[in-house]
Amino acid sequence: MIKLSLLVAAALVLSAANARAADAKDKNVYSFTMKDIDGKPADLSQYKGKVALVVNVASKCGYTPQYKNLEAVYEQYKDKGFEILAFPANEFKQQEPGSNAQIKEFCTSTYHTQFPLFSKIVVKGEGQAPLYQYLTSTEANPQTAGDIKWNFTKFLVSKDGKVVARFEPKVKPDDKEVIDAIEKELAKG
């Protein structure tokens, strides 16, 4: 009887794990709803059919000047079906301490950003936003999974919402490897 109970319990655990894996594979970046920088719901499905670079950003980081590079890449490719989706986060040495209004003011006045900014979220650890759970999941994205190591980690997303590449913070948005990957995805039908 005990063996049978253990087998049933093991089967239930395996079934739940398989269901989670199937859910993770069925999801994509464009299946999430987030809040924009003004706190309004923003359905990411509005970007379906576009190539996107999802970036966790911060205003007081050594990599903050990458906002300039992000804006330049956005300006170069936005009319070709490209978006940058920026998510402020404060997990790394509290380098994004401001409110959403302060972040928006900083980005638009200092770097003249035009790409979509979203409300501050948690990208690593307790309270991690579901979008970042998906982005870093080994079940959903085995090639690009793993914890976010720092601000300005970049995920390249295909037109159908799948993660196709990950670039760590030191890689600038306008580095050749990023541009080549963006152009490759934009060229796909």
Q: What CA–CA distance (Å, rounded) separates 70 from 67?
A: 5
113 SS3 class: coil
**Bridge partner residues of 56 (DSSP):** 87
Half-sphere exposure of 68 (CA within 13 A, CB side): 5
Catalytic one of 61, 72, 145, 171: 61
Is the CB of residue 71 less than 8 Å from the CB of residue 108? no
Is the CB of residue 42 less than 8 Å from the CB of residue 145? no
Is the CB of residue 74 less than 8 Å from the CB of residue 115? yes
Query: Hey, what amino acid is at 66?
Result: Q
Both structure tokens of 133: 């759970």
Q: Catalytic site residue 107? A: no
Both structure tokens of 24: 């993770």
Q: What CA–CA distance (Å, rounded) separates 110 from 108?
A: 6
Both structure tokens of 97: 């301490």
Active site residues: 61
